[in-house]
Amino acid sequence: MTLANDSEGHILVGNTFPFQLIRRPVSITVETPAEFLRHAEGRVVHSFWGHNDTLEAASLYVGLDLTPRRSRAAITLDKDGYPQLDGISFRTCWIVSAVLPERFRPEENKAVGSDRILHWQILRIQW
């Protein structure tokens, strides 16, 4: 198992992070697209993007293809409690999340259309 930081040639990206997988202290900061791209430049993207209906819009927003290598890619935890994907453990995870209208609740079992997205937000989770 490889442990990767942004500086080691890999970057972990998703549209949401399952909080039940946080088992170690984390810090979460709001970042700009420019900051995200600075960290992503020249690195292999490991994506666990979960919503195909927003994938293209999010990729355009950040200027980087966020398509997962396999359908329904899911992160797990390594033995030390760090997120892992594609056989690599990470200490940083980038979340590109859609910002929806206030009080908007999507219909149960329905995807949110890109037309409902007001803008995007980027979060950096660090372990």
All domains of the chain, ordered by start, with CATH?
Answer: 2-126 (3.40.50.11170)
Mean pLDDT of 26-54: 92
pLDDT of the residue at 119:
84
Instruction: Kindly report, residue by residue over 56-89, the tens digit of the pLDDT.
Output: 889 999 999 999 998 888 999 999 999 999 999 9
Instruction: Kindly report, residue by residue over 95-124, the tens digit of the pLDDT.
Output: 998 887 776 666 666 666 666 778 899 999
User: Could you tell me the strand order of the sheet in which 83-85 lies?
Assistant: 2-4, 88-90, 83-85, 76-77
Quick one: tokens of 116? 């409902």
Nearest by Cα to 90 from 4, 1, 2 = 4
